Amino acid sequence: MAEYVPSPRDWVREQVELYESSGGTKGTTLRDTGLPVIIVTHTGNKTGAIRKTPLMRVKDGNGYVLVGSQGGAPKDPVWVHNLRANPRVELRDETVVRPMQVREVKDKAERDRLWTLAVAAFPPYADYQTKTARQIPVFVAEPVGR
Ligand code: F42
């Protein structure tokens, strides 16, 4: 079994701890926005360690849209590289935890549709895109059988 290595950022690590230790009943929203958050458990592409990343919840049917915005920072978040290398993840949405397969969305029409959904769920994503020269990566996570 790989080891779980928590985020070095205090607020992120603390959100993951509260979310998971409460079984998905506490710490499930982003600070004062009240908007829902999911937890994606994935594998480090260099260390093989278990990583847990909170992201905004953007639903598309049975699937979820994962947006690598990192507040409009100049570089993609590290978890984006992890998902590209290891697309099998576990996704927690409040009390429900499911294995999922992740795929990066490259097709322009599909990305445009999902981006619109993402901005509707979390409007600051639009501002984050204007802050950075990179195109913010978008993934879909879809449930897989156990
Ligand atoms: N970030 C987003 O990008 N989008 C969101 O919608 C979002 C929502 C959100 C909601 C609540 C919340 O608490 C946080 C939220 N965040 C959101 C922030 C998100 O959880 C991440 O913290 C952020 O995107 C930064 O991701 P990151 O993977 O760059 O995290 C850094 C701080 C980090 O953990 N770095 C690790 C470290 O130790 O420095 C690296 C961990 C890692 O995966 N290492 C790899 C490995 O192999 O283990 C190797 C790394 C490599 O070099 O390739």
Position 146 confidence tier, pLDDT thresholds 50, 70, 90? low
Q: Which atom of ligand 1 is nearest to the CA of 56?
A: 6
Residue 86 contacts residue 43 (beta carbons within 8 Å)? yes
pLDDT of residue 145: 79
Q: Which atom of ligand 1 is nearest to the CA of 16?
A: 13
Considering only CA atoms, which residue is closest to atom 51 of ligand 1? 78
- The stretch 91-120 carries a mean pLDDT of 98
User: What CATH class has 10-143?
Assistant: mainly beta
Q: Strand ranges (DSSP E) for the chain? A: 37-43, 50-56, 59-60, 63-67, 88-93, 96-104, 138-143
Q: Which atom of ligand 1 is nearest to the CA of 46?
A: 47
Q: What values do phi and psi take at 103, rounded to 5?
A: -140, 135
In the DSSP assignment, the letter for residue 52 is: E
Residues 50-60 have pLDDT tens digits of 999 999 999 99
Residues 27-76 have pLDDT tens digits of 999 988 999 999 999 999 999 999 999 999 999 999 999 999 999 999 99
Whole-prediction pTM: 0.97
Residue 101 contacts residue 42 (beta carbons within 8 Å)? no
Considering only CA atoms, which residue is closest to atom 10 of ligand 1? 55
